[in-house]
């Protein structure tokens, strides 16, 4: 089974609903992105260090990043620390790191609810226009920021399975 790395949201943790789902279904690894500093720049730097170490140790085939973890995933792609496919769930890249673009050639599926009041859906619309033709935005109608519906209705699994199948082909 291909290794999947899950990078959780700012107010989430390993063991949250998405982390448990991905662990049970795919054996995903989910490191704690926590930080002792309440200052956002330090949180980002610490989370990036944890994520880079997880990539070096586990060599994931795919990264799933949710909200804050999505921002970290976008930064990893931009710096070249990861070059594989990604699933971004309501990525807070614009809000957290100011990153507004994916590198050319990125393969990504972005899942974002259209009534998210934490991270604007429009941010994902703009992000999806970057990175080239391999970037897809899948809007979850009626979806809020938590987007737990994508666990229940299979949309997250469908995105992951599609990207893993493409990678294996």
**154: containing domain:** 4-168
Joined together, the tokens standing for residue 111 give: 């899942």
What whole-number percentage of the chain has pLDDT above 70? Answer: 95
**Which SS3 state, helix, strand or coil, does residue 34 take?**
coil
Q: What is each CA distance from 141 to 27, 29, 113, 133, 149, in whole angstroms? A: 29, 29, 6, 23, 10
Is this model's pTM higher than 0.75 or not?
yes
Tens digit of each residue's pLDDT (9 = 90 or more) over 73-126: 999 999 999 999 999 999 999 999 999 999 999 999 999 999 999 999 999 999
* Structural domain count, the chain: 1
Which two tokens mark 121?
Answer: 């859906």
**Domain of 40: which CATH number?**
3.40.50.1820
d(CA 62, CA 91): 16
Residue 124's SS3 state is: helix
Q: What angle do CA 25, 76, 140 make, to 5 degrees?
A: 50
């Amino acid at each position: 089974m291909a290794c999947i790395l899950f990078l959780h949201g700012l107010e989430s943790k390993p063991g949250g609903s998405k982390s448990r789902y991905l662990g049970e279904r795919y054996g995903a690894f989910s490191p704690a992105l926590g930080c002792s500093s309440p200052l956002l720049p330090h949180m980002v730097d610490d989370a990036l260090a944890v994520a880079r170490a997880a990539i070096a140790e586990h060599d994931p085939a795919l990264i799933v990043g949710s909200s804050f973890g999505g921002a970290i995933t976008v930064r990893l792609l931009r710096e070249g620390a990861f070059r594989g496919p990604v699933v971004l769930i309501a990525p807070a890249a614009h809000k957290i790191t100011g990153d507004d673009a994916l590198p050319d050639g990125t393969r990504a599926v972005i899942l974002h609810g259209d009534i998210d009041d934490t991270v604007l859906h429009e941010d994902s619309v703009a992000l999806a226009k970057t990175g080239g033709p391999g970037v897809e935005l899948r809007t979850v109608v009626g979806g809020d920021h938590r987007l737990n519906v994508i666990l229940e209705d299979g949309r997250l699994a469908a995105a992951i399975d599609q990207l893993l199948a493409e990678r294996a082909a």
